[in-house]
Amino acid sequence: MEKFSILATALSTPSKVVTNDDLSAMMDTSDDWISSRTGIHQRHVTTGQTTTDLAVDVAQQLLQTAGMSADQLDFILVATMSPDALAPTVATQVQSQIGATHAFGLDINAACAGFVHAMSVASKLLMGSYQTGLVIGAETLSRLVDWDDRSTAVLFGDGAGGVLLTQTNEPTGLLSEGLHAYGAQGEALTAGQLSQQTPFNPSDVSTLLPFKMNGQAVYQFATRRVPELINEVVQAADLTIEDVDLFILHQANARIVKSIANRLQQPLEKFPMNVADYGNTSAASIPILLAELQAAGKVKPGQKIMLAGFGAGLSTGGTLIQI
Ligand code: ACO
Asked whether residue 11 is assigned to any structural domain, the reply reads yes
CB atoms within 10 A of CB 202: 9
Residue 197 pLDDT > 90, yes or no?
no
With beta carbons less than 8 A apart as the criterion, state whether 78 and 119 touch: no
Residues 208 and 308 reside in one and the same domain: yes
With beta carbons less than 8 A apart as the criterion, state whether 307 and 115 touch: yes
Residue 237 pLDDT > 80, yes or no?
yes
> How sure is the predictor about 266, in pLDDT bands with cuts at 50, 70 and 90?
very high
Asked whether residue 278 is assigned to any structural domain, the reply reads no
| DSSP reduced 3-state for 17 | strand
Of 173, 202, 232, the residue that ends a domain is 173
Residues 83 and 97 reside in one and the same domain: yes
Asked whether residue 118 is assigned to any structural domain, the reply reads yes
| Residue to substitute in 28, 37, 117, 253 for testing ligand 1 pocket (most ligand atoms within 8 angstroms of CB) | 37
Please give the tally of structural domains in the chain.
Answer: 2
> Could you tell me which of 160, 6, 19, 132 has the C-alpha nearest to residue 71?
132
Residues 95 and 144 reside in one and the same domain: yes
250 as an active site residue: the answer is yes
pLDDT computed for residue 170 by the predictor: 93
Asked whether residue 281 is assigned to any structural domain, the reply reads no
- Domain with 153 in it: what CATH number? 3.40.47.10
The parent domain of residue 180 ranges over 174-272+297-322
Mean pLDDT of the chain: 96
pTM of the model: 0.96
Residues 23-72: tens digit of each pLDDT: 999 999 999 999 999 999 999 999 999 999 999 999 999 999 999 999 99
Of 126, 150, 173, the residue that ends a domain is 173
44 as an active site residue: the answer is no
Asked whether residue 287 is assigned to any structural domain, the reply reads no
Is the predicted ipTM greater than 0.85, yes or no?
Answer: yes
In angstroms, what is the span from residue 316 Cα to ligand 1's centroid? 21
Asked whether residue 283 is assigned to any structural domain, the reply reads no
231 as an active site residue: the answer is no
Residues 6 and 147 reside in one and the same domain: yes
Asked whether residue 277 is assigned to any structural domain, the reply reads no
Of the candidates 20, 109, 253, 280, the residue annotated as catalytic is 280
Q: Is 151 in the pocket of ligand 1 (CB under 6 A)?
A: yes
Query: How large is the average pLDDT for residues 164-185?
Result: 97
With beta carbons less than 8 A apart as the criterion, state whether 124 and 94 touch: no
d(CA 24, CA 253) in angstroms, rounded, equals 19
pLDDT computed for residue 198 by the predictor: 87
With beta carbons less than 8 A apart as the criterion, state whether 14 and 138 touch: no
